[in-house]
Structure formats: C-alpha cells, structure tokens
C-alpha cells in the first residue's frame, strides 16, 4: 500500500503559511507602533516647572498650618488626576499607550537641578492647568529639550525594578522622618558645572484597575493565615481554576466543617494592611531610569552610584525595596535611546501607586536646604482686568502662558514719564520702541540725543513715505549748520519774552 505524502505535506504547508503570515503581521504591527511612538515622542511638549524656594514662601493670614507630610501629599492629588488621561483604542494601537514623564536633571553645562514634565501636545494645556490648580505658586514654562550628555565623555546608566512583587509597597514618605526628596536632591551635589550631567527619569503609563482588585483579594486570603506567596498563587488565574477543581471534589460535609486556623502574626497583619493601603490608591506602570555623564567612565560611575544610593532609603525589610539594574553594551545604548525619546519599556515596568510615586518625585514644596535647586526668583502676577486697549505698547505680561499687551494712553504720556536705569539696561531700546510706534502711526516726534546712537537707530526706522517729514539738527555738522534764534518767542504770548531772556542769562551764568 502506497503512503500519500500529501496527507503530511499539505497540513504542514498550510500551518507554515499561517505561521509566516502571523509573523509578518506581527512584525508589521510592531513597525507601525515603533513609528507611531517616535512620532508621538517628537511631538511631545516639555515643561520646566519651578517654584519659589519653600524657605521664603510667606504663609497667608488665617491659613491653617500644614505639616510637612500634608504639604507633600498634594502631589498625590496631581498623580490621581493624571491617571484619568487615557487614549482611544485606535490611538493606542497606532502609537501605543500614552506616557507622562517626570524628570529631575542637571544639564552638562550648569549646576542647577531642574524639574521637568513631558506630555503629549494634545493634553499640554490641561496638564498645565492641573499643575497650577494644585501648585498656584508654580511657574510652568514650555522649553526646548535639554542635554545632560558630555559630547566627548562617557555615560553610565541603570534602571530600577522592585525586588519583590509589586503588590507589596516600599517605604514611602509617610514612613520616613524627613522628606525623601532631600536625599535624592543631595545625590546631584557632586556634579561639576561643565562637562557633567545626570538625570532621574520616571515614565508613567496607564494601568487598569484589575491590579487593585487582585491586591485586595490577596489581602483577604492572607486573613486566612496564608503567606503572601500562597495567597498570590491562589488568586492567580491558574490558582483560581485549581481551587475550583479542589472545591468540587470536596463533599458537602467537609465544606460545612471549617478547619481551625492559627492566629495571624503581627508581620502578616502589617503586610495585609500595607496591601490594602497600596490597592486603595491609583497606580501606574512605571519605568525609572538613572543616567550619568562625565568626561571619564570612572566619574560617570561615581555620579551614578550617588543617584542609586538615594533610593536605599525606600527599602522596607518586610515589604519591598528597589533593585538596581546596571546596563552596559547594547543594553546601555538601548536605555539611552529610550531615555532620549522618553519611551516606555514594558520589559522594565512595575506598578507604583500615587503615594509611592510622590515619595520618589514631587515638586520641592518643603525646605530642602539645597541652594543648587532651580527656583522662582521673582513672583509673577496676572495683568489687571482694566488694561487700556489703545496706546503705545510698553511690554507684555505673561502669566501662566497667557500674554497681555501693556499699553500707555496719550493722556498718561503727557504727564511725567521717566525711564531710569544704569548704562546698558535698555533705556534707549525702550524709548526707541515707543518712538517707532509713533512714527508708524503717523504721529510727530522730537528726539534730543546727546550721543547720537538713538537718533541713528530711529532714522533707520523711518519709512520712505515719511522721509520728507524728517528734520535732523546735528550741531557737529559744520557743512550743514542750522541756525537757532535763542530769543524767538510766540507773539501771541508776550509773557514768554521775559521768561526766555531770564533763562538765556541763567545759561550764560552757569557757563
């Protein structure tokens, strides 16, 4: 009897074709997502966030005094608000889930520690309003990207993960004696002004609420005197199936007779409480990256060790702690690439709730004793509502991204208007701006300039159609002298005659 090879080859060929098509489709989808992620990164908005130094902030009258922890907790509200920003399934398919990036950094030129926030340009206005809502004193400035990398130097980097399962929290600011941000800020102290830079980057991506339900389920199982590992195993999908099978095999009599349970230990009770507290707050998928750059590899490693050491304060012996993952070679290049584009890496993700994130990154709202921290030097204020709509533009008021023209009306100009300042502070430039506006509007101007620089600048602003209106008097020009009758007066006002004579005599007396 002949064996028909088609019985094997046809199914094998079909299966191979399906696998090939599936692989091609997967690669195509990954290429689309990769391009979409780059497009989103290139169109993101970067904001510099600064606050007045907490040591110099004046408390308002009748305002209740907040403790340090209550002041820090405001950042939790901001994280909770950010958890609501999600994208549609279509955008998530093309671009991936949206991410929000917080950064603390020192550029490779300078020593000031700055706080940054990067978001999609679609939600930048809403995010800016959220920050001002929770931190009214904050200044939020949209800027171009900064650079921490020494062009001719070396880079050292690492990323953080949790040493245990993410359901267990690490030690947060509520359990620490002092603001944990102070320790993190101090880790930037040994960075030179030129040629060295460092950054801590936290990339957040939305996560569904299923992890919170699972965390509470684990806590309930631990109430039955089960270890965390056992409770986690039984609340998993496989564990639930096995539990259902075992339950079906039991008789009704055995189900009605509960087995005695040992008392829960204090450590277990503490773990149960910690699980419930973590699951009670919103969470995010998080990537945490540490980057250092310097002229030499040794110095870059030294800076990075300082950054890594600042996270030891969060270690909790009974719960969780951070694990440092140093990278090198291709992994280092990949991490630098993800850092630069602010990409979220699902392979390095962990779930952190708003309290944990606040412990790692919050705006400097408490006195930290860090003079190198970038802060607001002068307070900004909004423009008054009754600004004049007409007149010369003196300047612009910029408050929380809103620009308002500040004008001076003609009646106000007829009174006393002074420009006071040291040499080189911009008095002539300000006057030149006002004079140029008058010339363009067809007004007449008279300029007396002892140096001549301002007059030369203004002459360059005169349009050709007003060239015939210009009268230039230059006392130093001997070829084209202009005669002045010092005793001339208006015949309609005879009293001017005595005044002019007296003033002229006073001039000669002073000479």
| pLDDT at residue 6 in the model | 64
Q: Which residue has the higher pLDDT, 115 or 391?
A: 115
Q: Are residues 343 and 431 in the same domain?
A: no
Query: Please, which pLDDT band fits residue 77 given cuts at 50, 70 and 90?
Result: very high
Alpha-carbon gap, residue 265 to 267, rounded angstroms: 5
Q: Across residues 152-166, what is the average pLDDT?
A: 95
Report whether pLDDT(11) > 80: no
Please give the helix or strand (H or E) that residue 302 lies within, else none. helix 297-309
Q: Are residues 345 and 423 in the same domain?
A: no
- Structural domains of the chain, count: 2
Specify whether the CB–CB gap between 142 and 45 falls below 8 A.
yes
Could you tell me the end-to-end alpha-carbon distance of the chain, in angstroms, rounded to an integer? Answer: 136
Would you state the torsion angle of the CA atoms of residues 377, 381, 382, 383, taken in this order, to the nearest 10 degrees?
A: -100
Q: Are residues 344 and 455 in the same domain?
A: no
Q: Are residues 313 and 168 in the same domain?
A: yes
Instruction: Please indicate, yes or no, if residue 413 is contained in any of the structural domains.
Output: no
Average pLDDT, the chain: 83
Q: Across residues 242-267, what is the average pLDDT?
A: 60
Q: Are residues 440 and 353 in the same domain?
A: no
| pLDDT at residue 247 in the model | 60
404-417 pLDDT, tens digit each: 777 877 777 777 77
86-122 pLDDT, tens digit each: 666 666 555 566 789 999 999 999 889 999 999 988 8
Instruction: Please indicate, yes or no, if residue 121 is contained in any of the structural domains.
Output: yes
Instruction: Please indicate, yes or no, if residue 365 is contained in any of the structural domains.
Output: no
Q: Are residues 227 and 156 in the same domain?
A: yes
Q: Write down the H helix ranges in 145-296.
A: 180-186, 210-222, 228-234, 237-249, 252-256, 266-279
Please give the helix or strand (H or E) that residue 292 lies within, else none. strand 283-294
Specify whether the CB–CB gap between 347 and 99 falls below 8 A.
no
DSSP states along 393-409: EEEEEEETTEEEEEEE-
Q: Are residues 346 and 429 in the same domain?
A: no
Listed residues 293, 325, 360: the one ending a domain: 360
Kindly report the pTM of this predicted structure: 0.74
Q: Are residues 333 and 433 in the same domain?
A: no
Q: Are residues 35 and 113 in the same domain?
A: yes
User: Of 207, 264, 258, nearest to 231 (Cα)?
Assistant: 264
Residues 6+ apart with CB under 8 A from 121: 43, 44, 45
In sign, the C-alpha dihedral spanning 85, 86, 91, 97 is positive
Query: Please, which pLDDT band fits residue 204 given cuts at 50, 70 and 90?
Result: very high
Q: Which of 68-77, 152-161, 334-343, 423-432 has the lowest mean pLDDT?
A: 423-432
| pLDDT at residue 208 in the model | 86
Instruction: Please indicate, yes or no, if residue 403 is contained in any of the structural domains.
Output: no
Residue 486 is encoded by which pair of tokens?
Answer: 């010092």
Listed residues 334, 360, 386: the one ending a domain: 360
Q: Which residue has the higher pLDDT, 369 or 177?
A: 177
Please give the helix or strand (H or E) that residue 308 lies within, else none. helix 297-309
Report whether pLDDT(48) > 70: yes
Which domain covers residue 128, as residue numbers?
24-56+67-245+265-360
Q: Are residues 187 and 322 in the same domain?
A: yes
Instruction: Please indicate, yes or no, if residue 16 is contained in any of the structural domains.
Output: no
Q: Which of 38-42, 186-190, 434-438 has the lowest mean pLDDT?
A: 38-42
pLDDT above 90 coverage of the chain, percent: 39
Alpha-carbon gap, residue 47 to 400, rounded angstroms: 12
Report whether pLDDT(257) > 60: no
Instruction: Please indicate, yes or no, if residue 190 is contained in any of the structural domains.
Output: yes
Q: Are residues 309 and 448 in the same domain?
A: no
Question: Residue 286 forms beta bridges with which residues?
Answer: 204, 350
Report whether pLDDT(38) > 70: no
Q: Are residues 138 and 226 in the same domain?
A: yes
Q: What angle do CA 248, 254, 257 make, to 5 degrees?
A: 135
């Amino acid at each position: 009897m002949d064996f028909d090879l088609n019985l094997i080859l046809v199914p094998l060929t079909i299966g191979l074709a399906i696998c090939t098509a599936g692989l091609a489709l997967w690669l195509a989808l990954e290429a689309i997502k990769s391009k979409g992620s780059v497009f989103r990164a290139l169109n993101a908005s970067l904001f510099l966030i600064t606050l007045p130094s907490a040591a110099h902030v004046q408390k308002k009258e009748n305002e209740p005094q907040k403790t340090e922890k209550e002041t820090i907790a405001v950042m939790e509200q901001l994280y909770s608000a950010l958890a609501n920003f999600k994208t549609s399934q279509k955008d998530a398919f093309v671009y991936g889930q949206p991410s929000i990036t917080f950064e603390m950094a020192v550029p490779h030129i300078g020593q000031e520690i700055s706080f940054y926030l990067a978001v999609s340009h679609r939600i930048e206005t809403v995010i800016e309003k959220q920050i001002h809502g929770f931190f009214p004193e904050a200044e939020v400035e949209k800027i171009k990207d900064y650079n921490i990398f020494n062009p001719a130097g070396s880079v050292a980097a690492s990323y953080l993960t949790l040493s245990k399962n993410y359901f267990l929290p690490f030690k947060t600011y509520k359990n620490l004696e002092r603001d944990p941000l102070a320790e993190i800020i101090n880790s930037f102290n040994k960075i030179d002004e030129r040629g060295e830079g460092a950054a801590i980057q936290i990339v957040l991506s939305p996560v569904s609420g299923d992890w919170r339900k699972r965390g509470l389920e684990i806590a309930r199982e631990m109430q039955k005197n089960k270890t965390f590992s056992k409770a986690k195993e039984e609340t998993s999908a496989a564990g639930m199936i096995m539990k259902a099978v075992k339950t079906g095999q039991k008789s009704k009599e055995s189900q009605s007779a509960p087995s005695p349970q040992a008392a829960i230990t204090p450590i277990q009770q503490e773990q149960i409480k910690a699980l419930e507290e973590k699951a009670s707050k919103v969470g995010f998928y998080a990537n945490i990256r540490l980057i250092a750059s310097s002229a030499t590899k040794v110095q870059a490693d030294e800076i990075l060790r300082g950054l890594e050491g600042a996270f030891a304060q969060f270690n909790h012996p009974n719960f969780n702690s951070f694990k440092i993952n140093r990278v090198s070679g291709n992994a280092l290049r990949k991490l630098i690439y993800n850092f630069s584009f602010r990409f979220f890496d699902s392979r390095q993700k962990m779930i952190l709730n708003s309290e944990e994130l606040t412990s790692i990154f919050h705006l400097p709202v408490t006195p930290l004793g860090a003079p190198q921290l970038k802060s607001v030097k002068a307070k900004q204020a909004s423009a008054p509502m009754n600004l004049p709509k007409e007149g010369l533009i003196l300047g612009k008021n910029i408050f929380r991204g809103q620009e308002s023209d500040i004008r001076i009306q003609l009646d106000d100009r007829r009174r006393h208007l002074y420009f006071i300042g040291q040499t080189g502070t911009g008095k002539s430039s300000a006057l030149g701006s006002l004079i140029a506006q008058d010339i363009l509007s067809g007004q007449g101007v008279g300029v007396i300039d002892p140096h001549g620089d301002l007059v030369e600048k203004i002459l360059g602003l005169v349009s050709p159609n007003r060239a015939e209106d210009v009268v230039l008097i230059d006392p130093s020009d001997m070829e084209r002298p202009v005669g002045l009758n010092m005793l001339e007066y208006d015949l309609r006002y005879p009293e001017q005659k005595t005044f002019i004579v007296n003033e002229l005599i006073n001039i000669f007396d002073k000479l």
